[in-house]
Amino acid sequence: MLGVAPALWAQGDASLSRLMEEERYEEALNLIDTQIASTAADVFDLQFQRARLLLATGQSEKAEETYRSLITRYPGRPEPYNNLGKIYAAQGKLDQAAALLRAGLFTDPNYRTLYDNLSQIYSEQAARSLRSALDPSDPKADSALPLRSLSEIKPSAASTSE
């Protein structure tokens, strides 16, 4: 078993990245589900990839759920905090998004993407507050407006190509 898994892994991953490149997300999702079911190894990377695919196929709620469960099971990994934060920000939940990013930075204070995203949220909130200070009824100052420009963390080169 243990000898077989890495081989499967490598083979599966190669086709997975091809499917991703060709934007065949449904097939990629099926492939990942198969891989998760057939491995006894640490599934963080697969689950993380799966969450991204769920989002790409419009299954936002399932993606959120996956990120949340990844945070629960791997609280020391900064990436799920970031990507869930991105989803929240795009829904206009900037405070929750910032809270997640701060929690993510707690696991790794030097993670550039999280830092940049958090800065982006603060800048956006500051800009909205500034608008409110000039005119509290400015529709562009609404704190619940979505912020879609946060960066998503993709699986690192190391975990997809090995």
Partner 1 sequence: MSTFYLATGRARRTLFLLSFCASASLLSSEVVANNYETRLLEAARLATEGQSREAVNALDQLLVDYPQSRVGHSLRAELLFRLTGRSLSVTTEKSPSIQQALKPLNEELGLRWRHVNKAHAEVETILPSNLLKPSVKSPFAIYVDLPAARLYVFDTRDPTPTALISFYVTIGREGYGKQKEGDLKTPVGVYRLTGYKPGKKLHERYGYGALTTDYPNALDKSLKRTGYGIWIHGTEPGWENRGPRASDGCITLSNTDFETLVTRFPMGKDTPVIIDDAPQWMSATTLNQLRHELESSLPLESGEEQLEKGSDLPGVPHAWPQSPLAAFQEIYQYPASRATLITRRLLPETGDHAIAIDEYWTQNASGTWERIPFKP
Contacts to partner 1 by CB under 8 A: 95, 102, 105, 109-112, 115, 118-119, 122-123, 125-127, 129-130, 132-137, 141
Nearer to partner 1, 4 or 133 (CB): 133
For residue 16, the minimal CB distance to partner 1 (Å) is 31
Question: What is the DSSP secondary structure assignment for residue 47, as one 8-state letter?
Answer: H
Length of the chain measured in residues:
162
Nearer to partner 1, 31 or 100 (CB): 100
For residue 104, the minimal CB distance to partner 1 (Å) is 12
For residue 133, the minimal CB distance to partner 1 (Å) is 4
Q: What is the 3-state secondary structure (H, E, C) of 100-153?
A: HHHHHHHHCCCCHHHHHHHHHHHHHHHHHHHHHHHCCCCHHHCCCCCCCCCCCC
* CA–CA dist 32, 16 (Å, integer): 8
Nearer to partner 1, 72 or 110 (CB): 110
Cα angle 96, 103, 91 (rounded to 5 degrees) comes to 25
Nearer to partner 1, 61 or 142 (CB): 142
For residue 58, the minimal CB distance to partner 1 (Å) is 32
